[in-house]
Structure 1
Amino acid sequence: MTVTATSADDTDGTQTQSPARPWRTKLARSVPAAAAALCGLLLYVSFPPRTLWWLALPAFAGLGWVLRGRSWKAALGLGYLFGLGFLLPLLVWTGVEVGSGPWIALVAVEAVFVALVGVGIAAVSRLPVWPVWAAALWIAGEAVRARVPFGGFPWGKIAFGQADGVFLPLAAVGGTPVLGFGVVLCGFGLCEAVRQVVEGRRTGALRTGAAAAAVLTVAVPLGGALAARALVSDKAEDGTATVAVIQGNVPRAGLEFNAQRRAVLDHHARETERLAAEVRAGKVAKPDFVLWPENSSDIDPFEYADAWAVIDGAAKAIDAPISVGSVVERGGKLYNEQILWDPVKGPVNTYDKRQVQPFGEYLPLRSLVGAINKNWTSMVAQDFSRGTKPGVFTMDGTKVGLATCYEAAFDWAVRDTVTHGAEMISVPSNNATFDRSEMTYQQLAMSRVRAVEHSRTVTVPVTSGVSAIILPDGTVSQRTGMFVADSLVQKVPLRTSETPATRLGILPEMVLCAVAAAGLGLAIGAGVRGRRARGV
């Protein structure tokens, strides 16, 4: 039956059909778009410095609801909006010093990966147990994003938002891919469980098999996380070491470039000497070794005798080896280097950062970037070169693995320090450029995940904060404030056993990528068969 409306202006007695209300149609179409962006924002809120890790579950449940059954074009747009809602606020710190242009450009590119994953999720959403295929697709998207372009950008991996969550032990099972998969699977499983209940009420008949499968996609990740707690331990396996973490702080604005670099070095030497005085007074335990942050000496001590003297004086004062973060030029090449400085022998070993940061430590597409804005090229006047060997320093008998700052985001860069014998890990960093943004807390959460992933104590010496000591169970036992000079001294457990995640390496990620590919293959095959059937 067609319902018509009579216009008040129709005086001749005829009836005219009122036009459809376009605003209702537009509103209905805008709801999924708004929901996608809001779910992305919800996912961002689940990340540090907040401890609302559980918000990732409704965020993915909402994403599953928005994408289920959509066409590829709609899914592309909705996935992109989800990516923007998540990444725009998460990565705002990237524009602290260089302005909003690079920040917006980075997010615009990274959100494309999320959009493509959204297309895949929409495709597999018609399959049985679709949450499994969809969660695997998300992890496959993270795997690609961690490798391209320019060596990848893993920031925003779901695992890095779970340092305070119940799923964290899954990191010891299969690293960040398995941890992230468990969280995303549980979120999509919640979506499917609710959908089955709603569908059952509407039709009056609950599909028992489908409902049970939906419940399992929620229960299995939670049960797996609880079972994996047996892999998490902070017990010493090879004795203990007393470690000192130095945060020298940085001077505020007002100094020219070279004076600023010298002031940073002096600050770290001064804080080390202050600690040495406390040790002599019996107020603090004497450390076996000392860890300085990245860029604690941007003045090359191999080139400048005054920098050598300052570092050597600090090592002699504390009477312990120091890992010093420096910028070193060798053979015409620039390196972001950690130097093992012995109080008697001086520099005895070095580690060159291997995963250098694009647009921060080297400039891809330099000519193109210069054509857009000459100021951007001047900020990276000379590209840093990459190191080639894993960093493991033997410091007073303890093997300390090194993953410098940005490297903590890359699975391989942390893992191979452990496979090369590290009994603990240090992540020397320099976050001063990013002021009081959330960046330092996001990076601290990464180190907490790495501690559980490889069952190692992790220290985080940072120039301006937050520096921390993290136990192998992911607990932060000590931390500093931001933009203060401070030191942390603690006896920490040394461990030599390898978790399943350490032993398996990239294999879990490869398996999940294969599952994602299989899901896409099944979805494409089902679509082809459906079109053929409709054609017949």
Structure 2
Amino acid sequence: MTLETDDRAEAQPTARPSRLARVRAGLPRTGLAALCGALLALSFPSFGIWPLSIVAVTGLALLTYRRTLKQAAWTGIVFGGVFMFWLLIWIDVIGYDAWVLLALAEAAFVMLMAMGQAAVSRLPAWPLWTACLWVTQEWARDRVPLGGLPWGRLAFANTSSPFTPLAALGGAPLVTFAVALSGALLAAAILALRARGRRAGVACAAGAVALGVVGYAVPLPTGGDTAGGPASAEIALIQGNVPHAGMDFLGRPMQVLGNHVAATEALMAKVGEGKLPQPQLVIWPENSSDVDPYVTPEAYQLIDGAAKQAGVPILVGALVDGPDATHVMNEGIVWDPKTGPGAHYTKQHLVPFGEYVPFRSFLSQYISELKRVAVDFSPGDKTGVLQVGPAKIGDVICFEVAYDGIVRDAVTKGGRVIVIQTNNATYEHTDQPDQQFAMSRLRAVEHGRSVVIAATSGISAVIAPNGSVIERTQLATQAELEANVPLRDGLTLADRVGATPEWALALLGLAACGFAVWQRRRQPK
């Protein structure tokens, strides 16, 4: 089997083989595409074997090199299908039909990228255009449909690799670009060596290695600074746990709230015994109050009592009624021990089919599990920068950590530490909590901020500005964490340039693809 095609041979008329013969001839390539898709899935948590992301990129580049668009489309859908079905299997908690539909939709983007790779593989410097197309694919998939789903970005498989520091320069898109370019250069090296182009092969291989090494030259902060206030804050995280995992994780009303109050009492008991220092603020996770404390007196009293016992503000995650009778809001509320509830942040980027059901009347007829999402959430329209005790935080709720712009806004608008309130109890026994945790580590490096994660049932953690994990909890446990966390005001280059690198690389990939198609059509037949 050869991975190259000869354009002259393609131009010569030949007898058309039977359909069965074509299927048999394509089986090895199909099997390799499926294998590469599986390798890419293994590069993500919970396996997290990041070098396999480079191997997968290399494999797809070889399999699409100078192929027809039809051949590349089949290769891409097989590669993307295996990858997405494996990566997103945790969606089956909502329903197998939702899992299948979402995985196929995401795989379609990979298929289009593979077709683009086949087109640009006939251009000079094709590894560069191939890498740009990886960014193009993620750029599109992160936005559409219904606000997009950023899961499966190459950057999120490289949150603890030599490529990770590049996030401080150009964010997650630059990490994706570097990983993809490294893999594409390795593919070019293999092709050059097979064609006995030793010098070109060595040069391409050296370029791939250099991309992995350059990240070590990027300086990453480890401590705080005092430009905007104290250099650190003593922060406590509460993980109260839930009755059980799955769609019905909340149990009976206020049971989860009671768990978080009890865990806060346990924390303060340790403080009173001198085992832990007095915290300056306490973070509760998303959905730590499963009822609206504004309209439920018992819930109000429980939270208020916990804040008074702690003696410091608590950031409470609560479901709040409104803005009308048919919606609720997912909020982080600053609860002061003296004045009660104050400033709040309402989650901006809602999860379709989890927090609201698009086309509800139609889809609910075919996907029965959607009826369990009884009420739609209403999104907020403001960034989650909140003053909680001595710390100005950038609050991010659950899946929002996957979206570049939301986290970047929380930092550039004043957040000195990134706080992630999350509830992954629905997906407790899947890879989803580990995948989201990996994203949080990348955000720390990207923005030069400490990241603290409060989760209902795990994974709660404290992450340093350089991405190293200071503390973390286990899943399905009640736990309290406390750490002195650096607070920072300085912005990374990634913060300053924003989405510019992503747009530039994505559009460059599209332009290269368009030029390749135009050039192909100009060739005499």
- TM-score bin (small chain): over 0.9
CA distance in 2, matches of 1:155, 1:503: 24
Determine the C-alpha separation between the residues in 2 that align with 1:124 and 1:258: 51
For residues 263 and 380 of structure 2, the distance between their equivalents in structure 1, rounded to whole angstroms, comes to: 29
Output one character per residue of 1:267-287: Cα deviation in whole Å (capped at 9) or x when no partner: 001000110111011110111
Counterpart in 1 of 2:447? 454
Look up the match of 2:304.
312
Q: Aligned-pair RMSD on alpha carbons?
A: 1.9
Whether 1:398 aligns to 2:394 is no
Contact 1:244 1:290 in 2 (8 A): yes
1:463 matched to which residue of 2? 456
Tell me: CA distance 1:220–1:128, structure 2 relative to 1, closer, same or farther (3 Å): farther
Deviations 1:8-38 (A, max 9, x none): xxxxxxxxxxxx9998864431111111111
- 1:153 and 1:338 map into 2 onto residues whose CA distance is 23
Partner amino acid for 2:365? A
Mapped partners of 1:41, 1:347: distance in 2? 48
CA distance in structure 2 between the aligned counterparts of 1:40 and 1:86, rounded to whole angstroms: 5
**Which residue of 2 is the match for residue 336 of structure 1?**
330
TM-score (norm 2): 0.92
Which one-letter code corresponds to 1:442 in the other structure? Q
Q: Which of 359, 375, 379 does residue 365 from structure 1 map onto?
A: 359
Aligned to 1:214: 204
Cα distance, 1:330 vs structure 2: 2.6
Answer yes or no: is the 8 Å Cα contact 1:51–1:164 preserved in 2.
no
Distance 1:402 1:436, change over 3 A: same
1:315 counterpart letter in structure 2: A
Q: Distance in 1 between matches of 2:18 and 2:360?
A: 52
Q: Kindly provide the CA deviation profile for residues 201-256 of structure 1, in whole angstroms up to 9, marking residues without a partner as x.
A: xxxxx274x4466246414422432222x1x1212213111110100001138999
What does 1:110-149 align with in structure 2 at a 5 Å threshold? 110-149=106-145
> In structure 1, what residue type is equivalent to 2:101?
A
The residue aligned with 1:90 is 87
SS at match of 2:474: coil
Q: Is the 8 A contact 2:250 2:256 kept in 1?
A: no
Does residue 294 (structure 1) correspond to residue 286 (structure 2)? The answer is: yes
The amino acid across from 2:379 in the alignment is: R
Counterpart among 204, 222, 226 of residue 234 in structure 1: 222
Residue 150 of structure 1 pairs with residue 142 of structure 2: no
Aligned to 1:282: 274
Describe the shift of the 1:256–1:502 C-alpha distance in structure 2 as closer, same or farther (beyond 3 A): closer
Q: Which residue of 2 aligns with 1:15?
A: none
Q: What pairs with 1:472-487 in structure 2 (closer than 5 Å)?
A: 472-487=465-480
Measure, in 2, the Cα distance between the counterparts of 1:82 and 1:188. 16
What SS does the aligned partner of 1:148 have?
Answer: coil
Between 1:248-257 and 1:215-224, the stretch displaced more is: 248-257
Give secondary structure in 1 for the equivalent of 2:186: helix
Give CA deviations for 1:457-512 in whole Å, capped at 9, x if unaligned: 00111000111111111111101111110010000111111011111111000110
Counterpart pick for 1:47 among 27, 44, 47: 44
Question: How many residue pairs were aligned?
Answer: 503
Q: Residue in 1 aligned with 2:489? A: 496
Could you say what secondary structure the match of 1:461 adopts? strand
Name the amino acid aligned to 2:151.
W
Which stretch shows the higher mean deviation, 217-226 or 134-143? Answer: 217-226
1:413 pairs, out of 371, 384, 406, with 406
**Paired residues of 1:129 and 1:214 also in contact (CA < 8 A):** no
Give TM-score, length-normalised by structure 1. 0.91
Counterpart of 1:66 in structure 2 is 63
2: CA distance, partners of 1:438 / 1:190: 30
Q: 1:261·1:297 contact (CA, 8 Å) conserved in 2?
A: no
Pick from 313, 318, 335: which aligns with 1:326?
Answer: 318
Between the aligned partners of 1:475 and 1:526, the Cα distance in structure 2 is 48
> Which residue number corresponds to residue 225 of structure 1?
215
What residue is the counterpart of 2:343 in the other structure?
A: 349
Q: Could you tell me which of 252, 262, 282 is aligned with 1:260?
A: 252
What amino acid does structure 1 have at the position aligned with 2:43? S
2:170 is equivalent to residue 174 of structure 1: yes
Distance 2:87 2:18 in 1: 38
Tell me, what secondary structure is at the counterpart of 1:403?
A: strand
SS in 2 for 1:234: coil
Q: Structure 2: which amino acid aligns with 1:472?
A: P
> Residue 511 and residue 256 in structure 1: after superposition, are their counterparts in 2 closer, same or farther (change >3 A)?
closer
CA distance in 2, matches of 1:256, 1:162: 33
Deviations 1:164-217 (A, max 9, x none): 2110001101001000110011011111111111111xxxxx274x44662464
Residue equivalent to 2:27: 30
